[in-house]
């Protein structure tokens, strides 16, 4: 069965701290691994994505670390801000399939 | 604003009824994707159309159908509605054909079946 397991379900981080969310996938045919950010009442918005030919991608305060052999990837949010409080979804996809993790509710304490 | 427009924003209907959700993709995008988001199932891919043709199918029920019109807008038809169909339905669009590319989501239609 194809799944994407995301953890933790919820996360509380102090302002200025590092938020880390992890995902694990099963199907080695997946070749695109995006992270989406969703605020209440809004649609998901692409935050950052990675393909399996690189082990890390950084965009501003957001970094994806990718471990192909372990079939795991993670999102790191550096210097977390209250405005980062949202639900984050990882996903694994290929040309004709996409599976999302169950989401992580992140709360940044001011 | 992602540039993807979904209507209506909210919809309340009774069990057994049929509804149509509408999506206008970003200008220039050829792909439209439909997703369902519920508390128990999370975010699930339903179906994709690319330039008017069905391209990929996910966990879409037989009671649900979609189409993409020549002007590239898309409609998702949900029939014989059940209480369990209550969810947020999102449309997304992209220029590329595959699901393994960047997509832009609309704000969703919240469907409540009573």
Contact at CB, B100 and A98, closer than 8 angstroms? yes
pLDDT for residue B41:
87
CA distance B54 to A107: 39
pLDDT for residue A95:
93
CA distance A84 to A14: 11
CA distance A36 to A100: 10
pLDDT for residue A43:
95
Distances (CA, A) of A69 to A27, A72, B103: 12, 8, 27
Q: How far is A48 from chain B (nearest CA, A)?
A: 9
CA distance A109 to B114: 38
Query: CB–CB of B23/B111 below 8 Å?
Result: no
Beta strand extents in B1-114 (DSSP E only): 5-7, 10-13, 19-24, 31-38, 42-50, 53-57, 64-68, 74-78, 87-94, 104-105, 109-113
DSSP assigned state of B82: -
- B-chain CB neighbours of A46 within 8 Å are 102-104
User: Which chain A residues have any C-beta within 8 angstroms of a chain B C-beta?
Assistant: 30-32, 34, 36, 41-46, 49, 89, 93-103
DSSP assigned state of A32: B
pLDDT for residue B31:
97
Query: CB–CB of A26/A3 below 8 Å?
Result: yes
From first to last of its 114 residues, what are the pLDDT tens digits of chain B? 889 999 999 999 999 999 999 999 999 999 999 999 998 889 999 999 999 999 999 989 999 999 999 999 999 999 999 999 999 999 999 999 999 999 999 999 999 999
Q: Which stretches of chain A drop beneath a pLDDT of 50?
A: none
Query: CB–CB of B58/B75 below 8 Å?
Result: no
pLDDT for residue B40:
86
pLDDT for residue B83:
97
Express each pLDDT in A62-83 by its tens digit: 999 999 999 999 999 999 999 9
CA distance A15 to A6: 23
> Cα B102–A35–A27 angle (5° rounding)?
90
């Amino acid at each position: 069965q194809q799944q994407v397991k995301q953890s933790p379900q919820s996360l509380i981080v102090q302002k200025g701290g590092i938020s880390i969310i992890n995902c694990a996938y099963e199907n080695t045919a997946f070749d695109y691994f995006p992270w989406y950010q969703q605020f209440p009442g809004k649609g998901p918005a692409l935050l950052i994505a990675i393909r399996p030919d690189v082990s890390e991608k950084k965009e501003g305060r957001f970094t994806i670390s990718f471990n192909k052999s372990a079939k795991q990837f993670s999102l790191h949010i550096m210097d977390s801000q209250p405005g980062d409080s949202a639900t984050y979804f990882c996903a694994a996809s290929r040309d004709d399939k996409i599976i999302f993790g169950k989401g992580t509710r992140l709360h940044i304490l001011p | 604003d992602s540039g993807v427009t979904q209507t209506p924003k909210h919809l309340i209907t009774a069990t057994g009824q049929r509804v149509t959700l509408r999506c206008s993709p970003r200008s220039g995008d050829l792909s439209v994707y439909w997703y369902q988001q519920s508390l128990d199932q999370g975010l699930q891919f339903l179906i994709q159309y690319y330039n008017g043709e069905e391209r990929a199918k996910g966990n879409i029920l037989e009671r649900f159908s979609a189409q993409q019109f020549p002007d590239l807008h898309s409609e998702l038809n949900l029939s014989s509605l059940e209480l369990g169909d209550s969810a947020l339905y999102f449309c997304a669009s992209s220029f590329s054909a595959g699901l393994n590319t960047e997509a832009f989501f609309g704000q969703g239609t919240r469907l409540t079946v009573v």
